């Protein structure tokens, strides 16, 4: 249970008041009791001296002075009554043998303790007193001897009730209790008022602190007490301004750092000494999410152990990652490690493609060059033979044409890839362009016993580069003719939701579905042996896709292996 400061102040004041009154009451009651007892004893001492003189005078006035002790014993009752009347105290007289002679209250049968008499009789003129309970109340017993000629002839015992002293103690205790209750009420009222003046500003400070914890530094504290709380409020306001400025500065720097981190092209992951991730960016999160524990911990441990920078290439989720790991140079991040991760998958793929490209180009160049060199040697040896000469010239011309086509296709593909040419669009009759192209390719198709069927309705003029579009159609028809042993090729043109779509369908060998995307790669052939047999260098479809995409169009291939292939070119009108 939480106790507020206000109640703590109230409880503290009441406790202090209680302890103060308790100490004062104990000191006061004990002091008054002691003073009363001392006064009572002094009074009894005086009474004893008066009693001794009275008894001695009475005994000396008697003519027979020889038997003083006997006379004392005979007149003990008179002495007890007389002394009791004079002092107002109960008087009990004993003989020198400590035998009860008289009692002012006529209680001769009451048993008295003789301890005080024995103490008083030890030495002449000695007095003894003690306090004990008698008849249900506390009483003071005061004893002294009666001396004559240096001899004890008897003893007197004063029995004084202490009821008045006890009554005074009770009265004082009641007064102290009343004063305590009155003081408690006054202290409570004053404490409530004063604690309110203290706790109210503290509540204001507490609310302000709560606002700060929520990030609100705009609400200032207004406490005009002119004391330490007012000074504390002013200092608190200054602190809020400083904290707000510092946090804004930190947030700004953090935002800058975060922006730099998120905009980096590499993945970044930072670990503290406990292998907890303290910073990362979107690329690293996209690369391996939570699976980084499988391999990054090993790299982190290796860097901590060697205390040196580490660069390693790993394969993760079918991706090539180049990881650079180094220790963090920060006192509060001892053994911290940062990983910079480059996804070099595309680079490795590009390198592989470059390798394959060089291999394919070398092979494509080697074949006609080997033919050329062979027939050059043949011409050198048997060039005078007209038949051999004509055959050699024909093969040389064919090989040169093959080299020229290869170089032209490479130049076209390179230009398209590097944007080193401009598409020269103009409004043309797409139907007429396709008819002319089909007419040119029909002669080649006829050599393979292939018929080209067309469905070419008249469409609205379209904005394209007619030379490039014709080149793309020729490449597709050429592939369709080469891969169709015989039969028909269908060419259909139609409007497709505001676009022009051309479908070229053959009944050839078809393409496996998992290889459809790869056929757009330069020099890629599904059946390399057959492709070389029927001709072609594997660049046609790569060039065709680049041309279509430069027109903001799309090329789609749908093929079933063993049944045929349909190539669709979709071009926008504008």
Q: In whole angstroms, what is the distance from residue 44 CA to residue 87 CA?
A: 9
Which residues touch 322 (CB under 8 Å, ≥6 apart)? 311, 312, 313, 341, 342, 344
Q: What pLDDT, on a 0 to 100 scale, did the predictor assign at position 408?
A: 66
Token reading at 459: 């469409």
> Do 5-169 and 422-572 show the same overall fold?
no
* pLDDT score of 401 more than 60: yes
Report phi then psi at 155, rounded to 5: -145, 150
Q: In whole angstroms, what is the distance from residue 533 CA to residue 552 CA?
A: 35
SS3 at position 395: helix
Does 140 or 331 have the greater pLDDT score?
140
Are 322 and 344 in contact, with CB atoms under 8 Å apart?
yes
Are 162 and 137 in contact, with CB atoms under 8 Å apart?
yes
pLDDT in tens, 527-540: 554 444 445 556 77
Q: In whole angstroms, what is the distance from residue 400 CA to residue 372 CA?
A: 8
pLDDT in tens, 474-526: 888 888 888 887 788 999 999 988 899 999 998 888 888 878 777 877 766 65
Q: In whole angstroms, what is the distance from residue 430 CA to residue 9 CA?
A: 97
Provide mean pLDDT across the span 361-387.
Answer: 66
Interhelix angle 540-550/386-418, rounded to 10 degrees, is 30
Angle (nearest 5°) at CA 396 between 390 and 402: 140
* pLDDT score of 234 more than 90: no
Are 319 and 295 in contact, with CB atoms under 8 Å apart?
no
- When pLDDT is cut at 50, 70 and 90, the band that residue 311 belongs to is confident
Q: Which has the closest alpha carbon to 284: 339, 365, 245, 325? A: 339
Considering the four listed CATH numbers 3.30.450.20, 3.40.50.1820, 3.40.718.10, 3.40.50.10860, the one that applies to the domain covering 5-169 is: 3.30.450.20
Q: What pLDDT, on a 0 to 100 scale, did the predictor assign at position 529?
A: 45
pLDDT in tens, 379-393: 777 766 777 777 777
pTM of structure: 0.40
User: Does 422-572 carry CATH code 3.30.565.10?
Assistant: yes
Q: In whole angstroms, what is the distance from residue 553 CA to residue 186 CA?
A: 95
Provide mean pLDDT across the span 335-342.
Answer: 77
Does 281 or 501 have the greater pLDDT score?
501
Token reading at 531: 């492709």
Report phi then psi at 255, rounded to 5: -65, -40
- Highest mean pLDDT pick, 60-69, 78-87, 225-234, 419-428: 78-87
CATH number for the segment(s) 348-415: 1.10.287.130
* pLDDT score of 80 more than 70: yes
- Work out the burial of residue 265: count CB atoms within 10 Å of its CB; fewer than 13 is exposed, 13-18 middle, 19 or more buried: exposed
Map out the domains of the chain as residue ranges: 5-169, 264-343, 348-415, 422-572
Beta strands 450-455; 487-496: pairing state: parallel
Q: What pLDDT, on a 0 to 100 scale, did the predictor assign at position 568?
A: 92
Percent of the chain with pLDDT over 70: 78
Q: Which has the closest alpha carbon to 83: 55, 121, 46? A: 55
Are 220 and 240 in contact, with CB atoms under 8 Å apart?
yes
Report phi then psi at 330, rounded to 5: -150, 130
Token reading at 293: 């524990």
DSSP code per residue over 255-324: HHHHHHHHH-SSEEEEE-TTS-EEEE-HHHHHHHTTGGGGTHHHHHHHHHHHTS-EEEEEEETTEEEEEE
Are 336 and 327 in contact, with CB atoms under 8 Å apart?
yes
Provide mean pLDDT across the span 228-235.
Answer: 73
User: Does 264-343 carry CATH code 3.40.50.10540?
Assistant: no
Q: In whole angstroms, what is the distance from residue 521 CA to residue 546 CA?
A: 11
């Amino acid at each position: 249970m939480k106790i507020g400061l206000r109640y703590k102040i109230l409880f503290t004041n009441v406790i202090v008041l209680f302890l103060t009154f308790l100490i004062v009451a104990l000191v006061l009651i004990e002091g008054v009791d002691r003073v009363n007892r001392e006064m009572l004893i002094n009074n009894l001492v005086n009474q004893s001296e008066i009693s001794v003189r009275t008894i001695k005078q009475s005994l000396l006035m008697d003519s027979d002075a020889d038997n003083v002790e006997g006379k004392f014993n005979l007149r003990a009752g008179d002495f007890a009554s007389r002394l009791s009347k004079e002092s107002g105290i109960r008087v009990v007289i004993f003989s020198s043998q400590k035998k009860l002679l008289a009692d002012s209250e006529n209680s001769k049968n009451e048993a008295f303790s003789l301890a005080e008499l024995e103490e008083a009789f030890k030495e002449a003129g000695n007095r003894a007193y003690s306090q004990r309970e008698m008849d249900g109340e506390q009483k003071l017993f005061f004893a002294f001897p009666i001396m004559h000629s240096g001899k004890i002839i008897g003893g007197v015992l004063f029995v004084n009730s202490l009821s008045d002293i006890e009554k005074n103690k009770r009265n004082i205790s009641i007064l102290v209790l009343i004063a305590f209750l009155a003081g408690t009420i006054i202290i409570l009222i004053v404490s409530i008022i004063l604690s309110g003046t203290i706790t109210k500003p503290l509540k204001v400070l507490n609310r302000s602190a709560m606002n700060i914890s929520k990030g609100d530094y705009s609400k200032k504290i207004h406490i005009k007490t002119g004391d330490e709380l007012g000074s504390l409020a002013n200092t608190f306001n200054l602190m809020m301004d400083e904290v707000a400025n510092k946090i804004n500065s930190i947030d700004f720097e953090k935002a800058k750092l975060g922006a730099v981190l998120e905009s980096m092209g590499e993945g970044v992951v930072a670990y503290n000494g406990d292998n907890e991730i303290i910073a990362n960016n979107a690329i690293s999160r996209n690369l391996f999410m939570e699976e980084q524990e499988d391999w990054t911990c090993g790299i982190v441990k290796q860097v901590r152990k060697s205390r040196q920078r580490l660069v390693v290439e790993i394969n993760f989720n079918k991706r090539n990652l180049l990881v650079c790991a180094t220790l963090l140079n920060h006192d509060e991040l001892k053994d911290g490690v940062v990983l910079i991760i480059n996804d070099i998958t595309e680079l490795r793929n590009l390198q592989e493609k470059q390798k394959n490209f060089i291999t394919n180009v070398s092979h494509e160049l080697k074949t006609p060059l080997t033919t050329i060199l062979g027939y050059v040697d043949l011409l050198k040896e048997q060039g005078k033979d007209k038949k051999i000469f004509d055959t050699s010239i024909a093969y040389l011309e064919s090989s040169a044409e093959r080299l020229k086509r290869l170089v032209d296709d490479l130049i076209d593909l390179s230009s398209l890839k590097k944007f080193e040419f401009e598409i020269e669009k103009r409004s043309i009759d797409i139907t007429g362009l396709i008819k002319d192209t089909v007419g040119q390719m029909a002669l080649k198709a006829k050599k393979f016993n292939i018929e080209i069927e067309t469905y070419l309705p008249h469409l609205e003029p379209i904005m394209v580069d007619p030379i490039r579009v014709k080149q793309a159609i020729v490449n597709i028809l050429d592939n369709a003719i080469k891969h169709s042993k015989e039969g028909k090729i269908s060419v259909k043109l139609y409007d497709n939701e505001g676009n022009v779509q051309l479908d070229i369908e053959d009944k050839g060998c078809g393409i496996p579905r998992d290889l459809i995307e790869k056929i757009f790669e330069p020099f890629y052939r599904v059946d390399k042996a057959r492709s070389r047999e029927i001709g072609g260098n594997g660049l046609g479809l790569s060039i065709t896709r680049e041309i279509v995409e430069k027109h903001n169009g799309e090329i789609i291939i749908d093929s079933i292996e063993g049944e045929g292939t349909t190539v669709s070119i979709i071009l926008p009108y504008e």
